[in-house]
Chains A and B, each alone.
Chain A
Amino acid sequence: MTDLVPVLIDGIIYASYLFIIAVGLTLIYGVMKILNMAHGSLYALGAYVTATLVGAWFSHGLNPYGSFALPLLAAILVGLVAGPIIERGLLRFMYGNDEIVLILVTYALLLILEDLIKLVWGVESYSAYQPYGLLGTFEVAGLPYTKYDAILVGVAVSVGVALTWGLARTRQGKLLLAVIHDREVSAAMGINVQRVYLVTFTIGTILAALAGALIAPKVSVVPAMGVEVIVLAFAVVVIGGLGSLPGAALGALIVGLVGSAAVHYLPQVELFSIYLVMALVLIFRPKGLFSAAEARKI
């Protein structure tokens, strides 16, 4: 049990990026009641744009430390372009449909985005490793960790804090909570629900792309990454409770720690264990760990 510390640290690093993806997914679901299957493809898009930007940055020999701004730039770029196009161009025609129909719509979107990525970037893998090792490492319990990973954890925490603060303390956040609570009454009270949807979806897209952008330097960027990550993100939000912010944090921690423990102790069961936890949570708490009681409507 001496290696409990690395398990914990790896788990927290893993959880950080899971949280950034999942929080966007849960935000979109909470406000718009859309379980966005294409979220993983937006994540992949963020990773690809980052890889391209980082590649261009270093081939021009610019100041390497400037490359840390690139993931953020990529995320905002992807979010501001793809978010409004998808929401205005497609999703707004679908509101009012069954939740299952909306899942199918986003599934269609996933299929389209996957091939769009292949068309633009091809099928070979990209890498953007340069920023990862740039800051060097630090040691915990005799094992080296990159400072990049520490930044990743910091970004996840800041995203969580910013969203919590934004929802509870700002005017925009309170409007959002009103729309979550009752869309029709909010619209009747003069809240521009259309705009709230647009802003929410764009923020969700930025978060998905940000997660992809931050992970790009750590992994090789390949076409299948979006499809792989979306089921993990589902596991996170379902464990925590769909639409819940603290739920996404808890879900990310659980999935992160279970995943890293499995990798360290029993690598054969890594994927298996995550979905087992998801199934168990659904069996005993069907609406997730952080779900509020809901009145039955007839």
Chain B
Amino acid sequence: MTAADRTLPALSLALQVFLIGGWFLPDWAQSLLILAFGKGLVVLGLLLLIRTGLVSFGQGLYYCLGAYAAVSASKILAFPDLMSDALAMPLFGGVVAGVLGLVLGFLLARYRAIFFAMLSLAFSMILYGLLIKMSVLGSSDGFNIDYRTLAGIKLPDGMKLYALYALSTLLVFIATACLHRYLRSHLGRLAPAVRDNELRVEYMGSSVRYVVHVNYIIAAVLAGVGGGLVALSIGHIDPDLAYWTTSGEFVFVAVLGGTGNVAAPVLASLLFEWIKSAAYQYAPYTWQMVLGITLLLVIMFLPAGLWSIFQRRAREA
């Protein structure tokens, strides 16, 4: 347990390192980190679901919804100034995703194993099918998106990227720290119990469906905020955010990192984006193959993910 107690101080140290170190990084590295942090939030939600024993092949639904909500907030809602805010847009995306998660959660909380995976996949493909053909929603071209302020403060041109970077670093810190606390709370500790034996959880007087539902909503909110951040970073959104291969990528990163610690998804996401950008440049036709082989190796030799390497070392020490 001593290793777990170090998590919060380590996270705040990492926050400071990333905030200060990021200032000296070139633009492309900052953009890459924002992307990795945004997607890391989605994978953080998957960590919670996997701890509950569920794998969703449809987190792209909330990821995409968050991104589209962020855009529609700036385009449609009545406060265009407020809604081109780099903080308000992802948060709005998270809220919209959370509301949908609440609604769909009533249904999905009844499903397990592949049926959970398939139904969540179906929902994300419904959104994809809607977006790709509806011209009011931008159809396959999508929308461009921009931000001008951060928490109401107007951003000078030279500061825009770093402001978004600092925001995403801060959001990831808040999300991981809160999730870490949550996992050690009563409700959070029920998640692995649900995975191990639902019947016992029910006998002990807790509602399995409630646990699944709450965790599902949290995962949806995280995916929505992550989608909003990624949308701001890329500056463009399209329906592919909801396509099932996007969701598959999140599952890949979650398996890669493992569920041992809240930092694992974020680190795995950083590693993934870094490898992906390098592989895209040097081996555009074989990088998926590299990913596939990596996934197989992780499943075979590190079933608890890359994080288990740290844990093993901690135990030996």
Chain A residues packing against B (C-beta within 8 Å): 35, 90, 93-94, 98-101, 103-105, 107-112, 114-116, 118-119, 123, 227, 231, 234-235, 238, 242, 267-276, 278-279, 282-283, 286-287, 298
B245 to chain A, nearest CB (A): 6
Nearest 9 pairs between A and B by C-beta? A272-B129, A111-B292, A271-B129, A112-B292, A115-B289, A108-B295, A268-B133, A275-B125, A108-B292
B1 within 8 A of A: no
Inter-chain contact B111/A286, CB cutoff 8 Å: yes
Give the docked Cα–Cα distance between A272 and B123 (Å).
Answer: 9
Inter-chain contact B128/A298, CB cutoff 8 Å: no
List B contacts of A115 (CB < 8 A). 285-289, 292
B181 within 8 A of A: no
Give the docked Cα–Cα distance between A278 and B124 (Å).
Answer: 12
Q: Specify which of A90, A116, A234, A298 is in contact with B289 (CB 8 Å cutoff).
A: A116
List A contacts of B107 (CB < 8 A). 283
Give the docked Cα–Cα distance between A23 and B133 (Å).
Answer: 29
Inter-chain contact A35/B114, CB cutoff 8 Å: yes
List A contacts of B55 (CB < 8 A). 100, 103-104
Chain B residues packing against A (C-beta within 8 Å): 55, 57, 107, 110-111, 113-115, 117-119, 121-123, 125-126, 128-130, 132-134, 199, 244-245, 248, 251-252, 255, 285-289, 291-293, 295-296, 299-300, 303
Give the docked Cα–Cα distance between A111 and B276 (Å).
Answer: 14
9 examples of A-B residue contacts, CB within 8 angstroms? A94-B299, A101-B303, A103-B55, A111-B295, A112-B288, A115-B288, A270-B133, A271-B125, A275-B125
List B contacts of A35 (CB < 8 A). 114
Give the docked Cα–Cα distance between A242 and B117 (Å).
Answer: 13
Inter-chain contact A267/B133, CB cutoff 8 Å: yes
List A contacts of B299 (CB < 8 A). 94, 101, 104-105, 108
Inter-chain contact A231/B117, CB cutoff 8 Å: no
Give the docked Cα–Cα distance between A293 and B201 (Å).
Answer: 25
Most chain B CB inside 10 Å of its own CB: which residue of A108, A267, A273, A274: A108
Inter-chain contact B129/A107, CB cutoff 8 Å: no
Q: Specify which of B114, B122, B248 is in contact with A275 (CB 8 Å cutoff).
A: B122
List A contacts of B117 (CB < 8 A). 100, 103
Inter-chain contact B293/A108, CB cutoff 8 Å: yes
Inter-chain contact B289/A112, CB cutoff 8 Å: yes
List A contacts of B248 (CB < 8 A). 107
Most chain B CB inside 10 Å of its own CB: which residue of A98, A103, A273, A274: A103
Inter-chain contact A227/B245, CB cutoff 8 Å: yes
Inter-chain contact B244/A231, CB cutoff 8 Å: yes
Closest to A29 in B: B114
Give the docked Cα–Cα distance between A297 and B33 (Å).
Answer: 46
List B contacts of A90 (CB < 8 A). 296
List B contacts of A242 (CB < 8 A). 114
Closest to B57 in A: A103
Inter-chain contact A111/B291, CB cutoff 8 Å: yes
List B contacts of A234 (CB < 8 A). 118, 121
Most chain A CB inside 10 Å of its own CB: which residue of B122, B126, B199, B252: B122
List B contacts of A283 (CB < 8 A). 107, 119
Give the docked Cα–Cα distance between A118 and B295 (Å).
Answer: 19
Inter-chain contact B289/A271, CB cutoff 8 Å: no
B127 to chain A, nearest CB (A): 9
Most chain B CB inside 10 Å of its own CB: which residue of A93, A238, A279: A279
Q: Specify which of A93, A100, A271 is in contact with B132 (CB 8 Å cutoff).
A: A271
Inter-chain contact A278/B114, CB cutoff 8 Å: no
B146 to chain A, nearest CB (A): 28
List A contacts of B291 (CB < 8 A). 108, 111
Inter-chain contact A282/B118, CB cutoff 8 Å: yes
Inter-chain contact B286/A272, CB cutoff 8 Å: no
B295 to chain A, nearest CB (A): 4
Give the docked Cα–Cα distance between A180 and B289 (Å).
Answer: 32
List B contacts of A105 (CB < 8 A). 296, 299
Inter-chain contact A107/B252, CB cutoff 8 Å: yes
A131 to chain B, nearest CB (A): 29
Inter-chain contact B244/A286, CB cutoff 8 Å: no
Give the docked Cα–Cα distance between A39 and B245 (Å).
Answer: 15
List B contacts of A268 (CB < 8 A). 133-134
Closest to B289 in A: A115
A231 to chain B, nearest CB (A): 5
List B contacts of A279 (CB < 8 A). 119, 122-123, 126
List A contacts of B115 (CB < 8 A). 282, 286-287
Sample of 8 more A-B contacts, CB < 8 Å, known A118-B285, A242-B114, A282-B111: A103-B117, A107-B251, A108-B296, A109-B296, A116-B289, A231-B244, A268-B133, A275-B125
Inter-chain contact A93/B300, CB cutoff 8 Å: yes
Inter-chain contact B255/A111, CB cutoff 8 Å: no
Query: Assuming the A-B contacts A107-B251, A115-B286, A231-B125, are A272 and B119 also in contact, with contact meaning beta carbons closer than 8 angstroms in the complex?
Result: no
Closest to A279 in B: B122
List B contacts of A286 (CB < 8 A). 110-111, 115
Inter-chain contact A275/B126, CB cutoff 8 Å: yes
A52 to chain B, nearest CB (A): 18
List A contacts of B128 (CB < 8 A). 271
A98 to chain B, nearest CB (A): 8
A212 to chain B, nearest CB (A): 19
Q: Specify which of A119, A274, A282 is in contact with B285 (CB 8 Å cutoff).
A: A119
Give the docked Cα–Cα distance between A231 and B251 (Å).
Answer: 16
Inter-chain contact A100/B292, CB cutoff 8 Å: no
Q: Specify which of A107, A119, A227, A238 is in contact with B295 (CB 8 Å cutoff).
A: A107
